[in-house]
Structure 1
Amino acid sequence: MADGRRHIGVAERRARLALRHRLAPSARATAPEEVADSLVALHGSDPATVYLAVAARLADPAKAVAATERALYEDRTLVRMHGMRHTVFVFPAALTAVVHASTGLAVAARERASLLKDMAGAGAPDAAWLAEVEAATLAALARRGQATAAELTADEPRLRERFVYAPGKSYEGVHTVSSRLLRVLGVEGKVVRGRPLGSWTSSRFRWAPAPEHPELDVAGAQSALLERWLRACGPATEADLKWWTGWRVTEVRRALAAIGAREVSLDEGTGHVAAGDEDPVEPSGEPWAALLPALDPTAMGWQGRDWYLDPELRPLLFDRSGNVGPTVWWDGRVVGGWAQRPDGEIVWRIPGGGVAREAEAAVAARAERLRAWLGTTRVTPRFRTPLERTLSA
């Protein structure tokens, strides 16, 4: 371009995605830790997403459940915790201190203040009382190693206390101290979700003490996280970075400057890549198909998605809150969606067609591979989307 910035077009962005997100056949991983490291984080709001996202990127998806459970609950090389945008993710253990300092501290302060405000408004006990309950709860969890909220309540009965949330409002409700306090402790990095009650699709988790990690400088942690993300997902616009991190735009700009990020030209305007990542990336020459789960980190990776998602598909694939459902990919772009029926069949649809027979055959093969891998397991996304509801009926 006239201003000297290199232009990165759609084809190159899709080539980077295929290789760095381990979706091209030659880029498949051998372990869940490799997948999480390549993507920076796996969405964990829906427990099944973690395993399905890993399986879609492993050379041998049959290893996904056992290997991911071992990484999460035995080796602790992966940790499920709150992160960007106050969302639950699974991170590489080595990244937990960076995530906590860069995104968790500010959210934690707001969460604790909100809890104390709600309790005070309901005439519940004060901060000193809550501090006693918190200390007793953490001590009980340390003794047990991991525990459900009910088990912790047996050890610390004050967790059963209830208070009215938003009295007089249309959304008025009753909260227990246990539900709100454990959430606050999770955001503060004092507890993490442990092994679930039930199978890998269960959303009923035990709690466990958070692994110890150093306290990092906030600005330094933000720079470290942004650089990791750019190397996995760059190029990206400022809007992408602000949305993904949940930071203020001033924080995004400060981190970009600190890591020496390079400006590039994108079809939608100015983008950024990490220093030293400006060299062209050529398509691998191996067309690929993938069936990615609801909330997959690739589908949810950017705020601006037109380069890999036709805007006409959005009403079919997203719910009203912006959560993506299961998606069908062909060679770097979303072409449709999929679902699992009650009998276990994997069904998919490419609305409007527009793909070659080669693509349809590759998608069908991935669908059959997914059906065989899931076996008797049934997966229903936590956030239902229009096309997924239609296909699964």
Structure 2
Amino acid sequence: MRTVDDRERRARLAVRHALHPDHRVPDPVAAARAMTVLHATEAATVHLAVRARTDPEAPPAPEDVDRVLGEDRSLVKQLAMRRTLFVLPRDLLPAVLGSASARVAQTQRRALVRDVERHGVAPDGEAWVDRARSGVLDRLTGAAPTNARQLREELPELAGQVVHAPGKSYGGAAPLAPRVLTLLGAEGLVVRGPNAGHWRLNRPTWVLADEWLGGQVEPTGTAEGYAELVRRWLRTFGPGTLEDLQWWLGSTRTAARAALAAVDAVPVALDDGSTAWLLPDDLDPVGPVEPWAALLPTLDPTTMGWRGRDFYLDARLRPLLFDTNGNAGTTAWWDGRVVGAWVQDDEGVVQVVAAPGVRLPAEARRALDVEADRLTRWLDGVRVGTVYPSPLMRHARLP
């Protein structure tokens, strides 16, 4: 069994993820393909992730990314693995709908039916959900993109709310309409159309999927869909362990193992002695690359690509760079390892914050300062907030 050491894993990351300056990609679609999918839970992550992987001197502007999503539609937003929103290439959509999204849809429907009955919205939760789904689909047929509030106000089928944690400061009433849209999206019947707000904010509108995409998308079978996802994930993130893959897919261990077998994945050894997997045509060693610097956004697909992160992240830094739910904040990278985070001051200037105990050589500091200046100029005064700030971001002290 061939060993892929941590140094080679970091070299593969630099090349496959288009983060090394010699391996950047030309446009947003190529960036999404390089990463298999882009995280889209926070709208700004998509734009910043594309910027980090394209021409550092002339990266796509935010409106260029929005154009690909809203006009060209060669990229599409889809709720999929781990009930997370992603941006993915159109040709991956059938596999996602047949596997990860279908699993999410089943879970979402069960939970919605349960809550409709438990909170007294209707005695028959299944019937309520079916009426709500039909109402939305009828309303959106032939219609312009419509936001959730409009749908809730116009459709009596969507009336109803559930009350979480009554009497608690963090509790309150929540309408059911957004959950119906989430279900329909996971089922592949509706998609998120043009964003109705600033590029850094999620303000989705909703359209019928077949109308937005120019025809019906036929989901693959479950096994076929997972196999295609695993094939692309291994190309991007390999070598990865079974645990990495199961976590990323949000699947059962059985489904992940079956997908590895379906793509004829080959076992390799890692530095820590564990077994990981590569595609059979991807076994040649990847040589070292010159040191590189990058500033990646909250929930970037590289930072969130593996469950086991020790090869690029010192274990003692993990509590500083991830919140308690496992969401990654912004990250600063040097030569294949996370060395800190980045934040903006009140005027939008990007500042790199080294993690405590990390000593950066002068070369690294200079390279990260260049990246900070590039990002500041690209943002052009726009301040990007997040609901997932890491402890290091929260406690940064700016001059």
TM-score, length-normalised on structure 1? Answer: 0.94
Comparing 144-153 and 111-120, the one that deviates more: 144-153
Match of 1:264 in 2: 268
Match of 2:186 in 1: 187
User: What pairs with 1:69-218 in structure 2 (closer than 5 Å)?
Assistant: 69-125=66-122, 126=124, 127-164=126-163, 173-210=172-209, 211=213, 212-218=216-222
Structure 1 distance, partners of 2:25, 2:265, is 27
1:98-117 C-alpha deviation (Å, 9 max, x unpaired): 11112111221121111111
1:37-74 C-alpha deviation (Å, 9 max, x unpaired): 01001111111111001001111554231221111111
Does the 8 A contact of 2:350 with 2:376 survive in 1? yes
Structure 1 distance, partners of 2:235, 2:389, is 31
Distance 1:31 1:156, change over 3 A: same
The equivalent position to 2:53 in structure 1, one of 30, 54, 57, is 57
AA partner of residue 159 (structure 1): L
Aligned length: 388
The equivalent position to 1:30 in structure 2, one of 7, 15, 26, is 26
Structure 1 distance, partners of 2:163, 2:225, is 37
The equivalent position to 1:300 in structure 2, one of 298, 304, 315, is 304
AA partner of residue 46 (structure 1): E
Structure 2 distance, partners of 1:188, 1:86, is 12
User: What pairs with 1:285-364 in structure 2 (closer than 5 Å)?
Assistant: 286-351=290-355, 352-364=357-369
Does the 8 A contact of 2:196 with 2:205 survive in 1? yes
Distance 1:163 1:13, change over 3 A: closer
Structure 2 distance, partners of 1:314, 1:215, is 37
Structure 2 distance, partners of 1:256, 1:198, is 40
Distance 1:344 1:165, change over 3 A: closer
Distance 1:144 1:322, change over 3 A: same
Distance 1:170 1:107, change over 3 A: farther
Shift in Å, 1:249: 1.0
AA partner of residue 72 (structure 1): L
Does the 8 A contact of 1:299 with 1:324 survive in 2? yes
Match of 2:282 in 1: 277
1:72-102 C-alpha deviation (Å, 9 max, x unpaired): 1111111111111111111111111111112
* Identity fraction in percent: 43
Does the 8 A contact of 2:50 with 2:60 survive in 1? no
AA partner of residue 202 (structure 1): L
The equivalent position to 1:370 in structure 2, one of 372, 375, 384, is 375
AA partner of residue 281 (structure 2): G
Shift in Å, 1:213: 1.0
Structure 1 distance, partners of 2:231, 2:195, is 32
AA partner of residue 152 (structure 2): T
- Runs (4+) of structure 1 exceeding 3 A deviation are 163-173
Structure 2 distance, partners of 1:165, 1:325, is 27
Task: Specify the SS of the correspondent of 2:339.
Answer: strand
TM-score, length-normalised on structure 2? Answer: 0.93
Structure 2 distance, partners of 1:14, 1:241, is 18
Shift in Å, 1:173: 4.2
Shift in Å, 1:334: 0.6
Task: Specify the SS of the correspondent of 1:235.
Answer: coil
Structure 1 distance, partners of 2:267, 2:61, is 37
Does the 8 A contact of 2:349 with 2:381 survive in 1? no
Shift in Å, 1:180: 1.8
Gaps of 5+ in 1: none
Structure 1 distance, partners of 2:206, 2:190, is 7
Question: Are 2:237 and 1:233 equivalent residues in the alignment?
Answer: yes
Task: Specify the SS of the correspondent of 1:192.
Answer: strand
Structure 2 distance, partners of 1:344, 1:392, is 15
RMSD across aligned positions (CA): 1.9
Shift in Å, 1:167: 7.5
